[in-house]
């Protein structure tokens, strides 16, 4: 069947090559279908036509009907404007244009009826309407279609500059529907399905979203379109997970053996929190299930994920498998290595470190041990992904702070075996649970939602840069108590020279402020060995102050550090600030986080700083972050663009609908496990069509 909606938009009336180009480039609209899926973002009630004598300044957008009596260009150059005197019999008003003057002037006709739409404003004590939308009534026989709920479409700058108004798009949408007289828009969901989930037909939904009968119909149309969008993404994710679990059997770690028990009974330095115990149970259940584990472990900074990782690895060892931890930076890998070795003490477990700095003989020895199976636990950076790393019996991979790892890197790890290892992904970027399941596809989610006992929450203060004395006093008093301090400077790109200069100058300045103290400096451009050296010295307490870029953002654990000063804190995102703050408050003492900024702050910055001062709850902060930034830029999930790149649904705002759509997808897979019920034909076909969109996402684990 010929699909009329796949026609190019250039065949629409009044759409020349120049406009086609703009639609292609700015909105990725090529076909009529694309155009139909370009939805209005709001509606205006235009059922009323005002008289000019009724207009007042405070009115929102209004509509008047009358004629232009006179047009005048005023001013020169950039200040040029076009003024028109508009008369409706009840009074006169001035219409004013600042942009696109030539185009408007050419188009407008004197002494003919127009419907004018715009917002009244007062200028020089008289009411004007600036940049109004003008509709020539002689060209629009059906004025009724203009005076109801009208869609408003988003416009880009180049659209505005070439005279494409919201009204133009509206007319194009109308023209698409006009082409459909003898045919219907093909349904993408079965009728029975629509009934079951209370969804209107696709064609009605598309009609109502552009040309609504009333606001209630808009809501119903949105429900249908959002549901469909969410449903297909969820179906794809769940379908993929289902196929994979059928294809791959997971290793069964049935035993809790000597190593785990010895550690638990003799080496565990503290009692596990209830949350840690619960998570261990969830992990053990996965490991013994016969299915491959793909679990996301979320826990706020300092919640104690490392010990969970270690105990999980010991289970792997007890069952005869090797395990690895992959960390995003050398510093973190080193730190994990040190922690794991320290915790295991004299236990008979061979732990090795593999990073870029470990070379030559030492490297070869590690690699040999991995291949022969003598190395039980391998800890490293992405060096672990290299082809030369060949495990004898690879059973478990733990990925720390996963947001630094891209999708492809994880896929590489996965391919190291014929059978995929169990995978535990640990992250301190808290994501609301319902969101996590969509962002990370089929990863099961565990949450450590409890901090170890005795922690005092970090006191967070916002200081302006002119209260340096106060700051210096606070730092000095902490250091006099034997504590240490971090100063962090923003560094957006490690290569940005000016930022590095900030750090260098900052370092000099801080040395000057504290001439009696030992101050060290750390940044991403230093050699790995140098960085490690500085970090080790700081850990041993040989420096009082560490001046650093965000290289210390993730995971660094120096319990004696009790004060964190974030310079130009307005330049950091909320997630990053929360991570940075997590570097202090790791010991029993009261810790401080000082957010330092200048006085000139944007509204969003102020809100971010307030959020930080007000709360230390990572989940709350993550939600505020989403509200401030919108889900499209949720830190660490850039690779999951598909989820956020939806046309109409919003995974945050439409969370209820998301859960419903996910439920529908689960139900479908359950009732049609072989994917061959004729009733669902439409769905499976549609899924194949959409599949290419989400395939990247499903490869995440
Ligand atoms: P994160 O979740 O940020 O990786 P870590 O695993 O580094 O946190 O743990 C933070 C600190 O808390 C470490 O010093 C660790 O030894 C300690 N810790 C972890 N669990 C407990 C517990 N149950 N009781 C007391 N201290 C704990
Ligand atoms: Mg950690």
Ligand 1 atom 15, closest CA: 304
Candidate from 139-148, 306-315, 348-357 with smallest mean pLDDT: 139-148
CA atoms lying within 13 Å on the CB side of residue 188: 19
Q: How far is the CA of 378 from the centre of ligand 1 (A)?
A: 21
**Cα–Cα distance measured from residue 552 to residue 261, given in angstroms and rounded to the nearest whole number:** 34
Which ligand has the shortest distance to the CA of 588?
1
Closest CA to 126 of 91, 178, 171: 91
693 touches 232 (CB < 8 A): no
Candidate from 293-307, 350-364, 407-421, 498-512 with smallest mean pLDDT: 407-421
**Cα–Cα distance measured from residue 66 to residue 55, given in angstroms and rounded to the nearest whole number:** 14
CA distances from 315 to 310, 391, 418, 423 (A): 9, 17, 21, 13
In this model, does residue 22 exceed pLDDT 60?
Answer: yes
Ligand 1 atom 23, closest CA: 272
Closest CA to 283 of 137, 479, 444, 408: 444
Tokens standing for residue 647: 């046309």
Tokens standing for residue 468: 């340096």
Q: How far is the CA of 306 from the centre of ligand 1 (A)?
A: 7
Which ligand has the shortest distance to the CA of 450?
1
Q: How far is the CA of 428 from the centre of ligand 1 (A)?
A: 13
Q: How far is the CA of 130 from the centre of ligand 2 (A)?
A: 56
Q: What is the tens place of the pLDDT at every residue in 188-211?
A: 999 999 999 999 999 999 999 999
Q: How far is the CA of 445 from the centre of ligand 1 (A)?
A: 20
Domains 258-448 and 459-615 share a fold: yes
Q: Name the band, by pLDDT with cuts 50, 70 and 90, for residue 372.
A: very high
In this model, does residue 253 exceed pLDDT 70?
Answer: yes
Angle between helical axes of 215-247 and 655-671 (0-180°, round to 10) = 50
Tokens standing for residue 180: 């459909």
Please state the atom number of ligand 1 nearest to the C-alpha of residue 303. Answer: 2
Looking at residue 697, what is its pLDDT? 37
Which ligand has the shortest distance to the CA of 557?
1
Ligand 1 atom 22, closest CA: 452
Q: How far is the CA of 410 from the centre of ligand 1 (A)?
A: 26
**Cα–Cα distance measured from residue 613 to residue 523, given in angstroms and rounded to the nearest whole number:** 27
Question: Which residue do the tokens 């919201």 mark?
Answer: 166
Chain center to CA of 463: 29
**Cα–Cα distance measured from residue 452 to residue 438, given in angstroms and rounded to the nearest whole number:** 29
**Cα–Cα distance measured from residue 345 to residue 442, given in angstroms and rounded to the nearest whole number:** 37
| Averaged confidence pLDDT in the chain | 86
CA atoms lying within 13 Å on the CB side of residue 334: 17
Ligand 1 atom 5, closest CA: 304
Neighbours of ion ligand 2 (CB under 5 A): 555
Looking at residue 695, what is its pLDDT? 41
Q: How far is the CA of 329 from the centre of ligand 2 (A)?
A: 12
Neighbours of 126 (CB within 10 A): 9
Question: Mutation test of ligand 1: which of 271, 304, 311 has the most ligand atoms closer than 8 Å to its C-beta?
Answer: 304
Looking at residue 549, what is its pLDDT? 85
Q: How far is the CA of 402 from the centre of ligand 1 (A)?
A: 18
Q: Is 345 left (phi over 0), alpha (psi -120 to 50) or beta?
A: left
Domain 258-448 in CATH 3.40.50.300: yes
Residues 310-316 have a mean pLDDT of: 97
In this model, does residue 103 exceed pLDDT 50?
Answer: yes
Residues 490-509 have a mean pLDDT of: 72
**Cα–Cα distance measured from residue 309 to residue 400, given in angstroms and rounded to the nearest whole number:** 9
More confident residue, 2 or 379: 379
Which ligand has the shortest distance to the CA of 306?
1
Which CATH number, 3.40.50.410, 3.30.750.24, 3.40.50.300, 3.40.50.720, labels domain 459-615?
3.40.50.300
**Cα–Cα distance measured from residue 485 to residue 591, given in angstroms and rounded to the nearest whole number:** 10
Please state the atom number of ligand 1 nearest to the C-alpha of residue 307. Answer: 6
Question: Mutation test of ligand 1: which of 339, 400, 452 has the most ligand atoms closer than 8 Å to its C-beta?
Answer: 452
Neighbours of 647 (CB within 10 A): 11
Q: What percent of the chain has pLDDT over 70?
A: 88
In this model, does residue 492 exceed pLDDT 70?
Answer: no
Please state the atom number of ligand 1 nearest to the C-alpha of residue 559. Answer: 14
Please state the atom number of ligand 1 nearest to the C-alpha of residue 270. Answer: 24
DSSP per residue, 524-589: TTS-HHHHHHHHHHHHTT--SEEEE-GGGTTT---TTEEEEEETTGGGS-HHHHHHHHTTS--SSS
DSSP per residue, 473-535: HHHHHHHHTT-EEEEE---SSTT-HHHHHHHHHHHHHHHHH-TTS-EEEE-TTS-HHHHHHHH
- Phi, psi dihedral angles at 361 (to 5 degrees): -60, -45
Please state the atom number of ligand 1 nearest to the C-alpha of residue 276. Answer: 23
DSSP per residue, 616-684: --HHHHHHHHHHHH-GGG-TT-GGGHHHH--SS--TTTTHHHHHHHHHHHHHHHHH-TTS--GGGHHHH
Q: What is the tens place of the pLDDT at every residue in 67-93?
A: 999 999 988 877 889 999 999 999 999
More confident residue, 555 or 599: 599
More confident residue, 272 or 140: 272
**Cα–Cα distance measured from residue 569 to residue 584, given in angstroms and rounded to the nearest whole number:** 16
Residues 125-153 have a mean pLDDT of: 81
Tokens standing for residue 299: 């826990």
Please state the atom number of ligand 1 nearest to the C-alpha of residue 400. Answer: 4
Instruction: Tell me if residue 161 falls in helix, strand or coil.
Output: helix
Looking at residue 131, what is its pLDDT? 87
Q: Is 657 left (phi over 0), alpha (psi -120 to 50) or beta?
A: alpha
Looking at residue 45, what is its pLDDT? 79
- Count of residues in the chain: 701
Which ligand has the shortest distance to the CA of 452?
1
Tally DSSP H helices, then E strands, for the chain.
24, 22
Interior angle at CA 129, CA 128 and CA 131, nearest 5: 135
Output Rg (C-alpha) for the chain, integer angstroms: 31
Ligand 1 atom 19, closest CA: 304
CA atoms lying within 13 Å on the CB side of residue 452: 16
400 touches 326 (CB < 8 A): yes
Which ligand has the shortest distance to the CA of 328?
2
Looking at residue 296, what is its pLDDT? 86
294-299/149-152 β-pairing:
unpaired
Which ligand has the shortest distance to the CA of 303?
1
**Cα–Cα distance measured from residue 470 to residue 468, given in angstroms and rounded to the nearest whole number:** 5
Chain center to CA of 71: 49
In this model, does residue 64 exceed pLDDT 50?
Answer: yes
Q: Helices marked H in 115-154 — which ranges? A: none
Question: Which residue do the tokens 């009609």 mark?
Answer: 207
In this model, does residue 63 exceed pLDDT 70?
Answer: yes
Domain segments of the chain: what residues? 48-152, 258-448, 459-615
Which CATH number, 1.10.357.10, 1.10.3720.10, 3.40.50.300, 2.40.50.140, labels domain 48-152?
2.40.50.140
Looking at residue 513, what is its pLDDT? 95
Q: Name the band, by pLDDT with cuts 50, 70 and 90, for residue 651.
A: confident
Looking at residue 632, what is its pLDDT? 44
Query: pTM score, two decimals?
Result: 0.67
3-class SS letters over 96-107: EECCCHHHHHHH
Ligand 1 atom 26, closest CA: 452
Closest CA to 561 of 672, 458, 430, 431: 458
Question: Mutation test of ligand 1: which of 263, 274, 276, 306 has the most ligand atoms closer than 8 Å to its C-beta?
Answer: 306
Q: How far is the CA of 301 from the centre of ligand 1 (A)?
A: 9
More confident residue, 423 or 411: 423
Q: What is the tens place of the pLDDT at every residue in 620-650?
A: 887 788 777 655 444 444 333 345 567 888 7
Please state the atom number of ligand 1 nearest to the C-alpha of residue 339. Answer: 16
**Cα–Cα distance measured from residue 407 to residue 641, given in angstroms and rounded to the nearest whole number:** 12
Residues 479-488 have a mean pLDDT of: 95
Q: Which residues line ligand 1 (CB under 6 A)?
A: 270, 272-273, 276, 299, 301-307, 428, 452, 557, 559, 586
């Amino acid at each position: 069947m010929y699909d009329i909606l796949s026609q190019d938009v250039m065949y629409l009336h009044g759409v020349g090559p120049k406009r086609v180009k703009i639609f292609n480039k700015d909105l990725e609209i090529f076909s009529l279908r694309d155009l139909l899926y370009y939805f209005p973002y709001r509606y205006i009630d235009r059922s009323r036509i005002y008289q000019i004598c009724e207009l007042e300044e405070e009115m929102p957008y209004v509509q008047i009907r009358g004629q232009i009596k006179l047009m005048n260009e005023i001013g020169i150059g950039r200040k040029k404007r076009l003024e028109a005197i508009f008369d409706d019999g009840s009074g006169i008003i001035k219409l004013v244009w600042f942009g696109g003057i030539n185009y408007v002037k050419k188009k407008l006709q004197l002494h003919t009826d127009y419907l004018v739409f715009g917002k009244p404003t007062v200028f020089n004590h008289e009411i004007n309407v600036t940049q109004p939308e003008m509709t020539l009534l002689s060209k629009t026989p059906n004025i009724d279609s203009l005076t109801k709920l009208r869609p408003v479409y988003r416009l880009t700058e180049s659209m505005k500059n070439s005279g494409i108004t919201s009204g133009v798009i509206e007319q194009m949408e109308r023209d698409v529907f006009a082409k459909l007289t003898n045919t219907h828009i093909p349904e993408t969901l079965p009728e029975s399905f629509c009934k079951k989930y209370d969804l209107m037909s696709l064609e009605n939904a598309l009609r109502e979203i552009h040309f609504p009968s009333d606001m209630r119909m808009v809501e119903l149309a949105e429900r249908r379109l959002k549901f469909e969008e969410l449903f297909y993404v969820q179906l794809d994710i769940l379908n993929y997970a289902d196929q994979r679990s059928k294809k791959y059997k997971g290793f069964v770690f049935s035993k809790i053996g000597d190593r785990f028990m010895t550690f638990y009974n003799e080496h565990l330095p503290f009692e596990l929190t209830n949350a840690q115990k619960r998570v261990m149970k969830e992990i053990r259940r996965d490991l013994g299930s016969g299915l491959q584990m793909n679990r996301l472990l979320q826990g706020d900074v300092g919640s104690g994920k490392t010990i969970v990782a270690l105990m999980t690895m010991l289970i792997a060892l007890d069952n005869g498998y090797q395990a690895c931890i992959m960390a995003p930076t050398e510093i973190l890998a080193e730190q994990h290595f040190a922690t794991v070795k320290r915790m295991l003490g004299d236990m008979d477990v061979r732990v090795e470190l593999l990073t870029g700095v470990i070379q030559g003989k030492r490297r070869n020895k590690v690699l040999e041990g991995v291949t022969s199976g003598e190395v039980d636990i391998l800890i490293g950076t992405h060096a672990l992904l290299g082809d030369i790393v060949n495990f004898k019996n690879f059973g478990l991979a733990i990925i720390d702070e996963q947001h630094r790892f891209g999708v492809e890197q994880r896929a590489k790890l996965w391919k190291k075996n014929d059978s995929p290892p169990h995978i535990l992904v640990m992250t301190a970027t808290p994501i609301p649970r319902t969101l996590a399941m969509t962002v990370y596809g089929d990863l099961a989610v565990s949450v450590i939602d409890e901090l170890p006992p005795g922690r005092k929450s970090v006191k967070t203060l916002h200081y302006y840069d002119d209260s340096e004395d106060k700051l210096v006093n606070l730092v000095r008093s902490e250091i006099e108590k034997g504590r240490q301090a971090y100063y962090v400077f923003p560094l957006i790109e490690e290569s940005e020279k000016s930022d590095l200069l900030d750090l260098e100058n900052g370092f000099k300045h801080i040395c000057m402020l504290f001439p009696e103290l030992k101050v060290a400096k750390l940044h991403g451009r230093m050699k790995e060995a140098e960085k490690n050296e500085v970090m080790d010295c700081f850990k041993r307490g040989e420096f009082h102050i560490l001046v650093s870029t965000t290289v210390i953002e993730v995971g660094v654990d120096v319990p004696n550090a009790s004060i964190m000063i974030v310079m130009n804190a307005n330049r950091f995102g909320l997630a990053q600030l929360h991570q940075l703050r997590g570097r202090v408050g790791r010991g029993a003492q009261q810790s401080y986080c000082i957010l330092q900024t200048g006085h000139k702050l944007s509204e969003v910055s102020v809100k971010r700083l307030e959020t930080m001062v007000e709360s230390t709850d990572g989940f709350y902060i993550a939600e505020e972050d989403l509200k401030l930034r919108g889900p499209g830029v949720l830190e660490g999930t850039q690779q999951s663009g598909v989820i956020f790149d939806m046309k109409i649904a919003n995974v945050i705002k439409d969370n209820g609908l998301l859960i419903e759509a996910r439920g529908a997808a689960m139900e479908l897979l359950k009732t049609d496990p072989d994917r061959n019920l004729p009733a669902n034909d439409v769905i499976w076909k549609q899924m194949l069509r959409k599949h290419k969109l989400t395939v990247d996402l499903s490869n995440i684990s």
